[in-house]
Amino acid sequence: MRNQPHSHWQVLDAAAERREEAWSLDRQVELRTWLLGVLALAILVGILARLSYLIIERRDQFLANAHPVTIRQEAIPAVDGRIYSSDGQLLAYDDEHFDIALHYRWLQDPPDPLWLRQQIRHLTQLTGTPDLPKEQAEKLVLQIRHELWQKLAAAGKISAEEFETRRAEIQQDVERIARVVNEARLKRLKEGTDPTSKLNGGQIRSLSDLWTLLKQELTEPPSRGDNDPIVVREEVDYHPILEQVATDVVAEIESHPASYPGVRISPSTTRIYPGGPLASHVIGLRSSLREDQIRERQLELNGQDPLAYQAGDRRGRFGVERSYDTSLHGIPGEIKLTLDRSGEILSSETVRKSRSGKHLVLSLHARLQELAEQLLDEKVSPQMSLVPPLPAGQPDGSPSAPQGGAILVMNVYSGEVLVAASAPRPDLTLLSEGSTRYWADIQTDKRAPLLSRFTQVALAPGSVFKPATAVAICETPGTLRNDFVCQGFLEDPFSHRCAIFQLTGEGHGVIDLPQAISRSCNVFFFDAARRLGPEALTSWTGKLGFGSPTGIDLPFEQSGQIPTPQDNERSGSRKWYPGDLLGTAIGQSYLTVTPLQICCLMAALANGGEILTPQIVTRMTVSDRDVLASDALPALPSRKLNLAPETLQLIRRGLEGTVSDPQGTGYQTIRHPDVSIAGKTGTAQTGGEQLPHAWFSGYVPAEEPRYALVVMLEHAGSGGEQTGPLVRKLVQGLIDQGLIQTR
């Protein structure tokens, strides 16, 4: 066997090799090559398919990520409606002007490094000098920025120092906001609650966390690093640097945008009140809304705000600015801005045009209103420290000045209010400017100048309320007596007396209702009130409009108070005494009314018994032309009392006698030589050592009434003596303006 050509083991090995060739891949080179080629081709096809999908289907998305832009919705300011007086004087309007805003990166110093590199690239592209040294390019960019600051300072007519102060203040505010935001983020990172970090900073606590982190790393962009600060919106936004620039400056900037990089013109409006304090309680005030107030409003309206209020828009706070806010408010427009990553505007598109508010025409007669306010200002104390009112005399012996007052003039047939003067009153110009010092003075003035004396201050009326009691007496059968004898007091010489008894020790003698009104006989009304009873008196008092608002189109009107036995029983604070009924009959007790309610009473007695709803706004229009010729608003509702003609005749005789009868309480002080006046004086006791409130209410002319009048002075003293000069001058003003004719 050793001499054989092949070994036995070699033969066995060869057979095994032949068996392995049937399945060994290494020995089948051709098959292996084909398999590798198919595998490579499949991978290549997959890659090509994915690339085709990304290029064709996702191209826009990748381009957007390569050049990210921001879409921002901004408001286009709208102009609020104007307010006019009935004689054509402009009382409130929006002054349209332009502000200049500068992008934060253009006012930041030292400049942001990324912004500086972008500006260098932009500069080299413009100049075509890509080989410009870095230091030289930086100096050139900073020089361009410095020249821009100089041009803006000159455009705003301010010094370079003032411009620098404004710029530094803006930068400090933005840096403070960025610091607060980033400090809050660092705190969240330490606590592991920052939503911008992947899986709470990448902490892995389980296999599920591992899978989540792996999926995030493969499918999401890189997260912000712990040391990478957040860029707040204020850092890529425009900030107002100049306000109310001239139109030629706006034209210069808009016609040469390349010379003013980073500059933006912003249209804006300012509410102007030309008259300052003129009719300030009637006109009211518009002031800007804060963002928290906008959110509260949206919550109340479930997000559907028909007026589209935005932060910074103005809203009426009081006066017709508030009551007609929905009409005056202009609907702001909306513009869609496309900005690049540095905040530069790429394009703009107007989504909605702005719409101006409606214009209002008031019933107020501006020149007559000025006269009334001048008369009040001459009477009312200009000092804020005289509250509470001083006793009957100052230390130097002079009487203390009234602490407030009101004058009203109303058309007795339409309810249109020609004069609604109140003192003290705020200056709308100073309020709208936001002067903190002036606001502090207003807040510390205990006379409350923000309160309207004719609608928001309810006082004891005194004898000007007696005509209302006279209506109840005449309309209640068995109450009226025409042969009453006034002995100067009701039963006790020391209580329930007439004023004449305190002066002469005697009464009025035999007296009827007209004489009781003209001579202001308290005892006559005491006696009639006892026969009348509290139910009938309070019933007629309510019918005449007391105890409830008049419904005038002004906000925050007070209703006053009518004393009733039921109120005492419900409150439990005090018992109802017989003296309460007697005091109410002459306008005392704890009866309180507003001057406007008294004016409505006089208008009803003058027009035949119709309780009118006073009206301030008479016209409303959207047209800028012929505002005073626009269609009148419908009159507010009225209510007929159906008084007997005899009732009106008796009361009118008494009101005329107040001024025309030599024994009338207004004969010496109120009588006018050219116009007959009817009315009632009143001296309302206030208790303690304070001076009484002085009143006069009436109408002119007495024969053919056209206008109801009310003059009220707080803590002034005798009604006829204190109000008489004002009434005469007010009536003369009506004559001078051609509103009434002389006899």
Domain count, the chain: 3
Residues 236 and 371 in one domain: no
In a domain, 218, yes or no: yes
CA pair distance 481, 1, nearest whole angstrom: 170
pLDDT class of 358 with cuts at 50, 70, 90: very high
pLDDT class of 598 with cuts at 50, 70, 90: very high
pLDDT class of 525 with cuts at 50, 70, 90: very high
pLDDT class of 387 with cuts at 50, 70, 90: very low
In a domain, 307, yes or no: no
Residues 104 and 51 in one domain: no
Residues 434 and 378 in one domain: yes
In a domain, 374, yes or no: yes
pLDDT class of 386 with cuts at 50, 70, 90: very low
Residues 56 and 102 in one domain: no
Who has greater pLDDT, 387 or 571?
571
In a domain, 350, yes or no: no
Residue 292 has pLDDT above 80, yes or no: no
Give residue 31's domain range. 8-60
In a domain, 346, yes or no: no
In a domain, 351, yes or no: no
CA pair distance 26, 32, nearest whole angstrom: 8
Question: Given this model, what pLDDT does residue 194 score?
Answer: 56
Mean pLDDT of 112-140: 81
Could you tell me if 378 and 286 are in contact, meaning their C-beta atoms sit under 8 angstroms apart? no
Residues 145 and 26 in one domain: no
Question: Given this model, what pLDDT does residue 391 score?
Answer: 44
634: region left, alpha or beta (phi > 0 left; psi from -120 to 50 alpha): beta
In a domain, 210, yes or no: yes
Q: Which residue's structure tokens are 């209410």?
A: 697
Residue 398 has pLDDT above 50, yes or no: no
CATH number at residue 495: 3.40.710.10
Could you tell me if 369 and 279 are in contact, meaning their C-beta atoms sit under 8 angstroms apart? yes
Residues 260 and 202 in one domain: yes
Given 224, 244, 268, the domain boundary residue is 268
Mean pLDDT of 411-422: 97
Mean pLDDT of 589-599: 96
Please report the DSSP string for 103-149 in residue order: EHHHH-SSPPHHHHHHHHHHHHHHHT-TT--HHHHHHHHHHHHHHHH
Could you tell me if 76 and 313 are in contact, meaning their C-beta atoms sit under 8 angstroms apart? no
Lowest mean pLDDT across 54-68, 168-182, 191-205: 191-205
Question: Given this model, what pLDDT does residue 298 score?
Answer: 76
Residues 561 and 505 in one domain: yes
Residues 509 and 644 in one domain: yes
Mean pLDDT of 266-285: 92
Residues 592 and 715 in one domain: yes
Mean pLDDT of 605-617: 96
Please report the DSSP string for 56-102 in residue order: HTSHHHHHHHHS-EEEEEEEEP-PPPPEE-TTS-EEEEEEEEEEEEE
Residues 38 and 115 in one domain: no
Given 213, 243, 268, the domain boundary residue is 268
Question: Given this model, what pLDDT does residue 15 score?
Answer: 56
Residue 22 has pLDDT above 60, yes or no: no
Residues 429 and 571 in one domain: yes
Given 268, 302, 329, the domain boundary residue is 268
359-362 and 693-700 beta bridge pairing: unpaired
**Tens-place pLDDT, residues 193-241:** 655 555 444 455 666 766 776 666 555 555 555 556 778 888 888 898 9
Could you tell me if 688 and 714 are in contact, meaning their C-beta atoms sit under 8 angstroms apart? no
Residues 43 and 145 in one domain: no
**Tens-place pLDDT, residues 476-496:** 998 998 889 999 999 888 889
Question: Residues, the chain, total?
Answer: 743
In a domain, 326, yes or no: no
> How remote is the C-alpha of 618 from its chain's centroid?
22
